[in-house]
Amino acid sequence: MADSNFIDYVKIFCRSGKGGAGSRHFYRAKYIPKGGPDGGDGGRGGHIILRGNQNMWTLLPLKYQRHLFAGNGQSGSGGRSSGKDGDDVIVDVPCGTVVFDAETGDYLAEVTEDGQELKLLRGGRGGLGNWHFKSATNRTPRYAQPGEPAIEKTVILELKLLADVGLVGLPNAGKSTLLSAVSAARPKIADYPFTTMEPQLGIVGYRDNRSFVMADIPGIIEGASEGRGLGLRFLRHIERNAVLLFMVPADADDIRAEYELLLNELRQFNPELVDKPRVLAVSKSDMLDEELIEAITQELPEGVPHVFISAVTGFGLQALKDMLWREITSEDNRLLAEQAVHRRLDGRHRVPDEDAFIFENIPAPVPDEDELAEGEDEEWDDLDYDWDEDTEPIDFSN
Ligand X SMILES: Nc1nc2c(ncn2[C@@H]2O[C@H](COP(=O)(O)OP(=O)(O)OP(=O)(O)O)[C@@H](O)[C@H]2O)c(=O)[nH]1
Give contact residues for ligand X (rule: CB under 6 A).
169, 171-177, 189-191, 193-196, 218-219, 283-284, 286-287, 310-312
- Interaction partner, residue 130 (Mg ion, ligand X, none; CB < 5-8 Å by kind): none
Cβ 199 to Mg ion shortest distance, Å: 10
Write out the residues near Mg ion by the rule CB under 5 A.
Answer: 176, 195-196
Of the pair 16, 196, the CB lying nearest ligand X is at: 196
Q: Output the residue with the shortest Cβ distance to ligand X.
A: 219
Of the pair 292, 383, the CB lying nearest ligand X is at: 292
What is the DSSP code string of 280-328? EEEE-GGG--HHHHHHHHHHSPTTS-EEE--TTT-TTHHHHHHHHHHHH
Residues ≥6 apart with Cβ < 8 Å to 26: 35, 36, 37, 38, 39, 78, 140, 377, 380, 385
Cβ 237 to Mg ion shortest distance, Å: 14
**Could you give the CA distance from residue 50 to residue 65 in angstroms, rounded to a whole number?**
13
Cβ 362 to ligand X shortest distance, Å: 40
Of the pair 140, 180, the CB lying nearest ligand X is at: 180
Cβ 216 to Mg ion shortest distance, Å: 6
Of the pair 276, 284, the CB lying nearest ligand X is at: 284
Residues ≥6 apart with Cβ < 8 Å to 47: 16, 17, 70, 88, 89, 119, 120, 121, 122, 123
- Interaction partner, residue 183 (Mg ion, ligand X, none; CB < 5-8 Å by kind): none
Burial of 1 (0-12, 13-18, 19+ CB in 10 A): exposed
**Could you give the CA distance from residue 90 to residue 119 in angstroms, rounded to a whole number?**
9
Cβ 188 to Mg ion shortest distance, Å: 7
Of the pair 201, 373, the CB lying nearest ligand X is at: 201
Cβ 257 to ligand X shortest distance, Å: 18
Of the pair 126, 199, the CB lying nearest ligand X is at: 199
Pairing mode, strands 278-283 and 97-101: unpaired
- Interaction partner, residue 284 (Mg ion, ligand X, none; CB < 5-8 Å by kind): ligand X
- Interaction partner, residue 166 (Mg ion, ligand X, none; CB < 5-8 Å by kind): none
Nearest one of 80, 70, 68, 72 to 36, comparing CA atoms? 80
Four-point Cα dihedral 6, 8, 14, 16, nearest 10: 90
